[in-house]
Structure formats: structure tokens, C-alpha cells
Amino acid sequence: MPELPEVETIKRSLAPKIIGKIIREVKIYLPKIVKNTDLEEFIRRVTGKTIESLNRRGKYLLIGLAGGEILTVHLRMTGKLLVLPRGTPKDKHTHAIFDLGDVELHFNDIRQFGGFSFDLPKLGPEPLEEAFTLTYLKEKLNPSKKNLKAFLLDQKIIAGIGNIYADEILFAAGLSPKRLAATLTEVEAEKLYNAIRAVLNLGIKHRGTSIRDYVDSENRQGGFQHLLKVYGKSGALCIRCNSKIIRERHAGRSTHFCPNCQK
């Protein structure tokens, strides 16, 4: 968390508030949030720059600065970007403040895993864009030795899917997270493809999933948590077959599925 729908929601709420603003000053209170760059160099490279664009790539936010510099933001587990009135006191989990004139951009992160860099790791195609085709998905499924949960979580194959949406996608497709990716039939591959796009689009429509810490730039929660079918539902009854949803660990992550519907 946040995953693609949450980061997309943050981008949409944040963009009109920061694009066109000048970064007048940057205060970093936790140096480790600056990745792969010296802290003084980081501050020098962003101070005085106009924010010209805000985009998303997978789970990353890309802040485009004047002169062609791209500032990459990864929120990880608990990161937040909040637009607040200038002079708003920082709380104990605020690790950076960007002075944008009339407002400030606060980076808040309880678990301190998120941060900023000028690098972006190699990522697979965006699952809601034209580059992500059924043909591409089949080409990646066929030689894979991963189970489906690990396959969906691999950011080099598909960008942006995390634990919550992987579970919901596999339930929508009627596929077990333990199933080997290479064993899918043509029909099953198409079901998976359609489920990926449908579930992620629905997640964006409902502004993401707020279970613990996720809020958008206005501190508002999402609503997709009310539509979850399996994630976090261990012991509850499946909405399709009335079997009990179970939780197991797959691909190193807690995984929720129906053992009857997802064989």
C-alpha cells in the first residue's frame, strides 16, 4: 500500500494544487528518505524549480520540474503527501516539507520506508494502457515458473499491482493464487487479463482502498474497502459459494482466497 489505484487517486487530487508552484524551500527532517543522492545535492536540485507536471508510473509519483528533472516519490507502506496551509506545524511523522508559497507539501510516513529519488526502477507496462495487451500477458505467463500471486506482484511484469488488488483480481478471475502461471489456458488467461483491468478501474473509481493509513492529498479516505470480496476476509463466507475465505502465505505475502471458487 498504496497500490496503483491509490497512487492514481493521490496524483489526481494533488496535481491541480501543486502544478505551476515554485519550490521555494525544502526542509528534510529525516535524511534517509532521500535515496541515491547526497542530501545537499537533492535540496539544490529541487529548490527554486517550478513544478511543471505530475504523473504516475506503477506505484510511483513522478514530479516533473523545470529543466527536465524528474523527482520520483515512492510512498511504500504508509507514506502520505498532504497539501496544507503555509506554516502548518509538522507532526512527529512529517519528514519533509516543500514550501510552495501559499501552501506546503508535507511528506508524512509513519514506518519511514518511503522517500524521494531521481531514479525509477525498471517496470513492466501499465495495466490500464495500450501497451498491456492480452498477447503481452500470455507471452509473460507461458514461460513463467511463478505462482499467480507472485506473478501479479512482479513489478517488472506488470506495474502497480500489490497485495490487495492481486487477491481481488484472482478472485474475480476465479483463479487460485497457488496456480502456476504457465498452466493457464487461453480462456483463463483472458479472464485474468479482463479481471486485472476491471478491478483496477473499479479501485480508481472508488478512489482506492483505505484499510490503515491511506488518504489522498486532502486527507480523504478511499471507498474500495467496502467492495473487497476476499482481501482481509479470512473466515468470512464467499459471496459466490458460501465457502469460508482462507488466508495463506504466498509469494511472501498474506493471501486471501476462496478454496472452492479458486481451485
**Catalytic site residue 130?**
no
For range 138-152, the mean pLDDT = 97
CATH number assigned to the domain comprising residue 148: 1.10.8.50
Question: Is 126 inside a domain boundary?
Answer: no
Query: Could you tell me where the DSSP H helices lie in the chain?
Result: 4-18, 39-46, 134-141, 148-153, 163-173, 186-205
- 98 and 59: one domain? yes
pLDDT confidence of residue 60 = 98
pLDDT of 164 over the 70 cut:
yes
Residue 253 annotated as catalytic: yes
125 inside domain: no
Domain span at residue 11 reads 4-117
Spatial separation of the C-alpha atoms in residues 201 and 189, rounded to whole Å: 19
As a whole number of angstroms, the distance between CA 56 and CA 9 comes to 10
User: What CATH number has the domain bearing residue 52?
Assistant: 3.20.190.10
Is 105 contained in some domain?
A: yes
In angstroms, rounded to a whole number, what is the distance separating the alpha carbons of residues 125 and 45?
29
Q: Is 2 an active-site residue?
A: yes
Give, for 191, the enclosing helix (H) or strand (E): helix 186-205
pLDDT band at 263, cuts 50/70/90? confident
Considering the domain boundaries, does residue 160 fall inside one?
A: yes
Neighbours of 175 (CB within 10 A): 23
Tell me, yes or no, if 3 is annotated catalytic.
yes
Which residue is catalytic, options 57, 188, 253, 259?
253
Residues 6+ apart with CB under 8 A from 243: 237, 258, 259, 260, 261
In a domain? residue 81: yes
171 found inside a domain:
yes
Q: Work out the mean pLDDT of the chain and round it to a whole number.
A: 95
84, 26: one domain: yes
Residues 148 and 103 in one domain: no
Structural domain includes residue 262:
no
Predicted confidence at residue 57, as pLDDT, reads 98
Q: Per the residue annotation, which of 2, 5, 125, 127 is the catalytic one?
A: 2
- Rounded to 5 degrees, φ, ψ at 220 are -100, 140
155 plus 214 within the same structural domain: yes
- Specify whether 152 is located in the same domain as 93: no
Q: What is the pLDDT of residues 58-114, one digit of tens each?
A: 999 999 999 999 999 999 989 999 999 999 999 999 999 999 999 999 999 999 999
C-alpha cell of 195? 479481471
In a shared domain, residues 145 and 240: yes
Question: Looking at 11, 59, 80, 229, which residue is catalytic?
Answer: 59
Indicate the helix (H) or strand (E) that contains 109: strand 103-109
Is 45 contained in some domain?
yes
Give the pTM.
Answer: 0.94
Q: Clarify whether residues 113 and 49 are in a common domain.
A: yes
246 and 152 inside one domain:
yes
Residue 211: closest CA among 225, 199, 231, 229: 225
Number of structural domains in the chain: 2
